Structure 1
Amino acid sequence: MRRGHFSLKDLPAWCILNNVAFIDVKVADISGRGYGFIAEKNLVDKEKDQNDDDVDFTTLLTVPRDLVLSAEGVEEYAKESKAFRELLNAAGHQSTRGDILLFLLFQLVLSSPDYNGGLGSSTPWTQYFSLLPAEVPIPTMWHEPELSYLEGTSLEPAVSAKLGTLTKEFDHLRDKLAGLSYWNELISIDETITVRDWILLDALYRSRSLDLPGLGESMVPCLDLVNHSSQATAHFQINSKGEVDLRLHKGCLVATGEEITINYGQDKPPAEMLFSYGFIDTASTTNSLVLPLEPLDDDPLSAAKLHAFGKVPKLRIKEDGNGMPQVSAPFVYLMCLNEEDGLAFRVLQEVDGSRHLKMFWQDDDITDSPDTIHTRLQHHELNKIFELRFITIIFDIIQGQLEKLSSSLAKPESARDRIWQAASHLRSLESTLFEKTLQVLDENRTQLLQEDTVIEYLRSMEADQTDIISAEAAENEEDFS
């Protein structure tokens, strides 16, 4: 749907009309960073020196509570607008995110030059919505060819899954609104609103929402224009009146003309920053990633293990304070085990006829605590064998990812520089982390192979295999004669 127009020069008047207070800061278009906050004078935290005439108050921005887009704000607007209440009752009340996206969808229509009336009057958010970008550089909004840049990265499955979810959400929305003639015409008949609009609304929410004390997931107009820095100079908080303040950090100095920043997430890894905000902080020292796990193809217990685990299995790799990669993958320990080791599944039938799958290790019921399997294995006589299996599976998974990342990827002529650079940076970071992890795993595997328990076990397995081959050969010879 076509977007409305609301320029940056119109923002001061909007702020005055809606009681948004800027204190010696302004919004400016910053090269390479989009809109951001700039100091209009030397700013110093007032608690540092209260006698200096150049010292400003630490509050830089105040936004009234009634402008905050939260679960509370959505419900208040539903009381005021009958048309929005009908939309919310038909397709909302599932999650805060979902309700906020419906509110943004409402503002998208109200602010569009194609809007012909019928939904009631506009709100302060109607104008402000038109100031928000029509393109957000997060991967769900990348062009189809650009998604290939993520092949082999931890974002490849995450973005694919997210796009699938957004498509299902939009299809569900279309079905739910089929009974509302106004919305049915926009979405299903004229297709004025498409899944691409829904993806944009999700991108705006994901890149601009924050968690406010007492309000939860929220979007705050004007505050969402502040850019990120790991060396942030400001932070936000709720004041005694319930308003949202942007405040300078204690003891912090920002010179005239310098940018004021906040920290979007102290410990967010590169993939998460790119997924949610469309960039990677080059100054961040956090390096980690998450990969989804698939059961082994030849495991007859794979379906039972997945069901008993109860959540999506994942592999996490994170560098510790010394830069050493640490691996966490509880489900892989289940992948390592079979019935001969002592893993068992039984179906329990209740008196009411319901049936439940129960998981046992060495006859102990571990259905309610599948994550504890690693701790239990530590006390088993074959613990070293299980660790060797664990390392082997993880090694193969990571090696496969690294092979994908190592394949040469030439920059297409049509590639947008910002997206190409972000994807290339992510590929480089994750390749390095994979290589370091493989090195650590290989060292651990070498140590395990020198353990007496492992040596004896492997010898016995080799002997058993030899006996099986000999028996099969004898049987085949007898059959032939």
Structure 2
Amino acid sequence: MRRGHFSLDDLPAWSTLNGVNFINVKVSNIDGRGNGLIATNELVSREDDLEPVALLTVPRELIISAEGVEEYAKENKSFRQLLDTVGHQSAVAAKLTALTKEFDHLRENLANLPFWNEIISIDESITIQDWFLLDALFRSRSLGLPRSGESMVPCLDLVNHSSQATAYFDESNEGEVVLYLRKGCVVPAGSEITIDYGQDKSPAEMLFSYGFIDPSSSARSITLLLEPLEDDPLAIAKLHAFGEPPKLKLEEGKDGIPHWTAPFVYLMCLNEEDGLQFKVLQETDGSRHLKMFWQDIDITQASNTMKDLIRDHELYQVFELRAVTVIMGIVQNQLDQLLNTQNGDSSAELVTPEVYHAVSHLRSVEIGVLRKSMQALNEQKDQLLQDDTVVEYLTMMGSEQNDPSAEGAADEEEDFS
């Protein structure tokens, strides 16, 4: 596959040829920030302007979006075969091991498609490093359009980030992507035009996708994958019913107080004795489906709202205590791992100083979020332990465990308290 490199000197001709319109702005190299967009004249957008000031327009046919990919697949049989072969999966993966697995799977399946097998072998074969590069390009240059969703937009992807952005992008009725000057902004000639890559994105996502952490961003969060309890006999059924990878998100609010979000954790902490059931139902056509029930009500389509479903239960505070206890164990385990790597870090000599500084900064931010979260969770646990319903429940459970006649029953049940 032929590879090429285009300099900034080639961009004006390419833009004219492809209908990309730069309006009073140009792409230029900016010290310490790589390529970016700067104003060629003073740009002014008043609060009372009826129309926003356009800076860049990109035709719809140049935009790569999920919708555009599907449309092209309808027109091109070979591309449809490729899309079906890779299973409509994104090239993005969180880890190099996952990328390697994706790449091996792709090469193996493309061997059965002569058209694509020949394409990727022209001049030089595609390697795993090319797959890594493709992943990095997509992560660093994709953005969320209001209508088309996750997309890649040429030239717009050259605009740098700032939490004090002076511009924003939108889609026109004709499908063009347009970069506008924010209302109330004045940008002197020669100054950089910036957009916001996402104020809500975590430091890890910013570093992994764009290669930096915005020091001025107030976003402080961490997302962890959840796994069912090891001794839960309903673990597989719960994962199947939930339908997506379960996650725990810890995020500091503007007041500095951390909050946690983990819909799956409530499924983790419930069992049949509480009223959670799974049944395999057979349809008239012979197909079989796993259904989830809470208090004999089918909640298969509402598995991610478990907290709301159990809120009116008389033991809700007990369920909340179970969830908090589980979250505390996960948070403490992650905190221990980060502290251990911090104390025994020997990677400084293996990477550039910039990379090491960025990774160290990320680790410091996440340790801070985890420590604050543990403090907040401890306080929440203490409050729950003072709740009358929780006290009564724990007293009853303690009595049953001390009652020899209940020993057999206790052995069969798991004590979540």
Normalising by the residue count of structure 1, what TM-score does the alignment of the two structures yield? 0.73
Partner SS for 2:38: strand
Counterpart AA for 1:341: D
Q: Deviations over 1:43-97 (max 9, x none)?
A: 22277799xxxxxx933333344433446766898899xxxx4641330268998
Residues 1:413 and 2:339 aligned together: no
- Note the C-alpha offset of 1:421: 2.2
Residues 1:258 and 2:191 aligned together: yes
Asked if the contact 1:39–1:254 (Cα under 8 Å) also holds between the matched residues in 2, the reply is yes
Counterpart AA for 1:450: Q
Counterpart AA for 2:79: L
Q: Which residue in the other structure is 2:296 paired with?
A: 363
Among 50, 56, 59, the alignment partner of 1:61 is 56
Q: Which structure's relative contact order is higher, taking Cα pairs within 8 Å and 6+ residues apart?
A: 1
Asked if the contact 2:328–2:377 (Cα under 8 Å) also holds between the matched residues in 1, the reply is yes
Among 226, 232, 255, the alignment partner of 2:159 is 226
Structure 1 distance, partners of 2:143, 2:284, is 47
- Note the C-alpha offset of 1:190: 8.5
Q: Which deviates more, 314-323 or 186-195?
A: 186-195
Q: Deviations over 1:274-294 (max 9, x none)?
A: 232222222222222321110
Structure 1 distance, partners of 2:109, 2:186, is 52
Q: Which residue in the other structure is 1:433 paired with?
A: 369
Structure with bigger gyration radius: 1
Q: Which residue in the other structure is 2:415 paired with?
A: none
Q: Deviations over 1:301-354 (max 9, x none)?
A: 212222222322211222233222121222211221222333233332334433
Q: Which residue in the other structure is 2:94 paired with?
A: 159
Asked if the contact 1:27–1:35 (Cα under 8 Å) also holds between the matched residues in 2, the reply is yes
Structure 1 vs Structure 2: percent identity of aligned residues?
59
Structure 1 distance, partners of 2:311, 2:359, is 40
Asked if the contact 1:325–1:437 (Cα under 8 Å) also holds between the matched residues in 2, the reply is yes
Q: Which residue in the other structure is 1:20 paired with?
A: 20
Equivalenced residue count is: 404
Partner SS for 1:300: coil
Q: Describe the shift of the 1:97–1:198 C-alpha distance in structure 2 as closer, same or farther (beyond 3 A).
A: farther
Structure 2 distance, partners of 1:179, 1:34, is 42
Counterpart AA for 1:432: G
Partner SS for 1:159: coil
Structure 2 distance, partners of 1:365, 1:240, is 42
Q: Which residue in the other structure is 1:88 paired with?
A: 79
Aligned ranges 1:172-211 → 2 under 5 Å: 172-181=105-114, 183-185=116-118, 187=120, 192-211=125-144
Structure 1 distance, partners of 2:122, 2:26, is 43
Structure 2, unmatched stretches of 5+, are 409-417
Please tell me the root mean square deviation across aligned C-alpha atoms, in Å. 3.5
Q: Which residue in the other structure is 1:53 paired with?
A: none
Q: Which residue in the other structure is 1:45 paired with?
A: 45
Among 330, 342, 359, the alignment partner of 1:423 is 359
Counterpart AA for 1:361: W
Asked if the contact 1:37–1:261 (Cα under 8 Å) also holds between the matched residues in 2, the reply is yes
Q: Which residue in the other structure is 1:443 paired with?
A: 379
Counterpart AA for 1:25: V
Residues 1:247 and 2:180 aligned together: yes
Partner SS for 1:389: helix
Asked if the contact 1:90–1:177 (Cα under 8 Å) also holds between the matched residues in 2, the reply is no
Q: Which residue in the other structure is 2:398 paired with?
A: 462
Structure 1, unmatched stretches of 5+, are 51-56, 102-139, 141-157, 473-481
Q: Which deviates more, 62-71 or 425-434?
A: 62-71
Counterpart AA for 1:451: D
Among 269, 275, 287, the alignment partner of 1:354 is 287
Q: Deviations over 1:99-122 (max 9, x none)?
A: 9x8xxxxxxxxxxxxxxxxxxxxx
Structure 2 distance, partners of 1:63, 1:370, is 41
Q: Deviations over 1:6-41 (max 9, x none)?
A: 222232333344443333322222233211112233
Asked if the contact 1:91–1:176 (Cα under 8 Å) also holds between the matched residues in 2, the reply is no
Structure 2 distance, partners of 1:174, 1:8, is 34
